Structure 1
Amino acid sequence: MHAAQSKADPVFRARGLGKVYRMGEVEVHALRGVDLDLYPGEFVVLLGASGSGKSTLLNILGGLDAPTSGRVECQGHVLTDASDDALTRFRRESVGFVFQFYNLIPSLSARENVALVTEIARDPMTPEAALALVGLEQRMDHFPSQLSGGEQQRVAIARAIAKRPAVLLCDEPTGALDSRTGVVVLEALERTNRETGALTVVITHNAVIAEMADRVIRLSDGQVAEEHRNASKRPPRELHW
């Protein structure tokens, strides 16, 4: 059964999203009327050049930023007029974030970095289970300085998915990695998407990564320029850039 059948309710429903940043006298339109539905279990790639609005969109979906206009719902709850407390709870309970830089705490082992999240989550995986899901069962007690960049990013993915979020939002997760290491990280994301069922949204400027997605949404100048569904998904190990 395909994840994005029409009868499934979207995890996110965005309508008319606009975002204007004011820099002195200048207005920068980062988003211009974006409409978007994202469904449970999907692996979605948001593709676009630097400045296309993709990070702004991701931050609004994740409750890290608020739009200037428009409306976002997540699982039926309106985010756009939610209180700060409600947004904090939403980020803590429903969203896993993975960024380009891993943001691990250097003095904590891989297991302890993941445990930071599991200790405050409602129904978490164990740190061990989350690290096993990304293939790091042999590296749990290593510190970030003892791990490669790709391994550190996989710890960050384990940390993000350990709270069993409804959605995993990834901002250029392979941006700091070479192609071979990036593929291993993408395999970890593909596996966590398949095994946890979390809607997974990856933003990237790298068009090759789009080949592993269920659906590709291309942003240009703050608008959805194009959207298509891949007839067949390529496994990450076949991707090269």
Structure 2
Amino acid sequence: MAVVAPLPVGEAVFRARGLTKTYRMGEVEVHALRGIDLDLFRGEFVVLLGPSGSGKSTLLNILGGLDAPTAGEVWYEGHHLTGASERELTLFRREHVGFVFQFYNLIPSLTARENVAIVTEIAEQPMTPEEALARVDLADRMDHFPAQLSGGQQQRVAIARAIAKRPAVLLCDEPTGALDSATGVRVLEALERVNAELGTTTVVITHNADIARMAHRVLYLGDGRIVREERPAQRTPAKELRW
């Protein structure tokens, strides 16, 4: 059953103004972003929808400090990211941002617990690996290696690794893209729980319009621009999604 959930309000965690990104490929210029203005608020669950090449991943990478815009500015909690040094961006990513990608990037020779511990060993106030894995319903699979886990379980280990350092922001690029519907729903339930219980600002890129039903806010991208924004009156729990 859909639930009414008002959009979180308050100071923006991210503020982006006039973001453009141009790549040069030989003699050709590719305009990935064309003047994006965006605010993201604490505790929001935001879905970015759009076709391939619309600029979704480029925008996410700039917000996460993995890439820099050609023009425009980004602030994170009032701190200017656009002119930050590489060292400052590394600290920003380490202390504030968790990343989840379509491919799990787990180390095959390490157990689930050990894959998460890699992050907890460098974070300031981390969860224990056991707590992080329990939050994604993998308490009984901690000592299994990636090859002993299903694709959905491996993605949930990746989520546990991302949240173990207690990031304020979780940026997810096609986290269900390699999964079937039932398995993808389990992954989305884990993201939903983290957003609700920890108040983590969560941004999810997807091609799957059905996933938008669980968002506080949906941003539609096309040709490097935000072409439409929707704020659903009701949110659908992840467990009720099917595609």
Normalised to the residue count of structure 1, the TM-score between the two structures is: 0.98
Aligned mates of 2:230, 2:210 — CA distance in 1: 15
2:161 partner amino acid = R
- Residue 169 (structure 1) aligned to one of 155, 168, 171: 171
- Classify the secondary structure of the residue corresponding to 2:140: coil
Instruction: Indicate the residue corresponding to 1:144 in structure 2.
Output: 146
Q: 1:238 offset after TM fit, Å?
A: 1.4
Q: Does 1:43 align with 2:45?
A: yes
Q: Does 1:127 align with 2:101?
A: no
Deviations 1:52-110 (A, max 9, x none): 00000000000000000000001111110000000000011100000000000000000
Instruction: Indicate the residue corresponding to 2:77 in structure 1.
Output: 75
Contact map agreement 2:48 2:220 (CA 8 A) in 1: yes
- The runs of at least 4 consecutive aligned structure 1 residues that moved more than 2 Å come to 1-4
Aligned mates of 1:123, 1:76 — CA distance in 2: 22
2:152 partner amino acid = G
Instruction: Indicate the residue corresponding to 1:4 in structure 2.
Output: 8
Contact map agreement 2:100 2:162 (CA 8 A) in 1: yes
For structure 2, the 5+ residue unaligned runs are: none
Aligned mates of 1:4, 1:36 — CA distance in 2: 15
Instruction: Indicate the residue corresponding to 2:96 in structure 1.
Output: 94
Contact map agreement 1:4 1:40 (CA 8 A) in 2: yes
Q: Show the 5 A alignment for 1:188-207.
A: 188-207=190-209
RMSD: 0.9
- Classify the secondary structure of the residue corresponding to 1:11: strand
Deviations 1:167-217 (A, max 9, x none): 000000000000110000000000011111110000011111000001000
How many residues matched? 239
Q: 1:236 offset after TM fit, Å?
A: 1.1
1:168 partner amino acid = L
Contact map agreement 1:100 1:172 (CA 8 A) in 2: yes
- Classify the secondary structure of the residue corresponding to 1:177: coil
Aligned mates of 1:163, 1:222 — CA distance in 2: 32
Q: 1:4 offset after TM fit, Å?
A: 2.3
Contact map agreement 1:3 1:40 (CA 8 A) in 2: no
Q: 1:239 offset after TM fit, Å?
A: 1.0
Aligned mates of 2:116, 2:198 — CA distance in 1: 16
Identity of aligned residues (%): 74
Normalised to the residue count of structure 2, the TM-score between the two structures is: 0.97
Aligned mates of 1:75, 1:127 — CA distance in 2: 28
Q: 1:237 offset after TM fit, Å?
A: 1.5
Q: 1:143 offset after TM fit, Å?
A: 0.4
- Residue 183 (structure 1) aligned to one of 182, 185, 189: 185
- Classify the secondary structure of the residue corresponding to 1:116: helix
Contact map agreement 1:44 1:213 (CA 8 A) in 2: yes
Q: 1:148 offset after TM fit, Å?
A: 0.2
